[in-house]
Amino acid sequence: MDKFNAESLRIVQGLHPDLLRVVARASEISKQAFQVVPDNGGLRSASMQKRLKKKGASRAVLGRHTIGYAIDLVPVNERGRVDFRNLAGFDEIMLAMKQASEELSIPIDWGGNWKKLVDKPHFELNRKVYPGPRETAKPDEVLVAFK
């Protein structure tokens, strides 16, 4: 089975190329097949982000998804269907993303490490190295590793 299917390739259009490099490498080394969360796991419009915030599915008004710096990945079962209940699968994806991040020297952060609103599908480019609008990176903060 292709670990990063055609639907995922459509959804990721417009995401930051460095993030896509990490995901592509992770798809090569992952023991767990995965894909981008259908519909809203890639680049999001401002209106989509607003709807997700209203539903409580996101806490951000202008999220990392809306600027192309975040992606949501979900395990795929043997029949090719997404499986949000496969918690071990999320951990396998994280391990592959961590390895890919380190190999490529592209620091990312994982939503599974968050204290509030743990978000296992979520990966984003590190904010210190890849600041978004109205965010700044101090030179000494750019030398960060995967968290």
Over the stretch 47-76, which tens digit does the pLDDT of each residue have? 777 777 777 766 666 678 888 899 999 999
Over the stretch 79-116, which tens digit does the pLDDT of each residue have? 989 999 999 999 999 999 999 999 999 999 999 988 88
Give the pLDDT score at 132.
Answer: 81
Query: Strands (DSSP E) along 9-136, which ranges?
Result: 34-36, 70-75, 108-110, 122-125
The rounded distance, in Å, linking the Cα atoms of 107 and 23 is: 12
Give the pLDDT score at 143.
Answer: 41
Over the stretch 117-138, which tens digit does the pLDDT of each residue have? 788 999 999 988 998 876 655 5
Domains of the chain: 6-142 (3.30.1380.10)
pTM: 0.81
Comparison of pLDDT for 146 and 26, the residue scoring more: 26
Residue 124, classed as helix, strand or coil, is: strand
pLDDT band of 38, cuts 50, 70, 90: confident
- Within a 13 Å sphere around the CA of 147, how many CA atoms are in the beta-carbon half? 16
Give the pLDDT score at 57.
Answer: 64
Give the pLDDT score at 55.
Answer: 76
Give the pLDDT score at 48.
Answer: 75
